Amino acid sequence: MAYYSYNPYQPDGNKMNMEQRSQYGYARTESRPVPQRLGKFSNAVTTTQWIGTIFLTAIPLVGLVCLFYWAFTDSTSPSKVNYARALLILTLIFVVIPLIAGIIVCYIMWPAVAAKIMPILDQLKGIVKLG
């Protein structure tokens, strides 16, 4: 068992200022600011608010307007901002892009479809008098 005695010629590290610490080879330590505690989840969205949010987003046009409002305003909590932005991205991926692709495919395929449909429509005109 090692026994270390007090050495009066070696300064006590706890009582030295920064210049003395660097003089004796101690590392300089900088203190970091302590983060401020903001209470327990001060800006958190409650469970009932999430339920209301989900119900609002289920209404077709109202939900879309609410998503844009929540995604781009500063007064909304960060978790709801991220939720709204994620749903807008998913809406873009699963609704808008397939809709545009469907319109393009219909535009490209219309001549072939029209060639098949027009004889049928001409026959119907002969059977049913529309005027």
- Which residue in 80, 15, 7, 81 sits closest to 49, CA to CA? 80
9 found inside a domain? no
The confidence score (pLDDT) of residue 121 equals 85
Please give the Cα distance from 77 to 80 (Å, whole number): 5
63 found inside a domain? yes
10-20 pLDDT, tens digit each: 655 555 565 66
Q: How many residues does the chain have?
A: 131
54 found inside a domain? yes
**Domains in the chain, number:** 1
2 found inside a domain? no
28 found inside a domain? no
The rounded average pLDDT for each run of 10 residues, N- to C-terminus, in the chain (131 residues) is 61 58 59 68 84 96 96 92 96 94 93 88 77 54
57-78 pLDDT, tens digit each: 999 999 999 999 999 999 899 9
3 found inside a domain? no
36 found inside a domain? no
Please give the Cα distance from 128 to 4 (Å, whole number): 114
**Residue-number span of the structural domain to which 88 is assigned:** 46-127
- Which residue in 127, 120, 66 sits closest to 91, CA to CA? 66
CB atoms within 10 A of CB 120: 9
The confidence score (pLDDT) of residue 22 equals 60
The confidence score (pLDDT) of residue 2 equals 59
15 found inside a domain? no
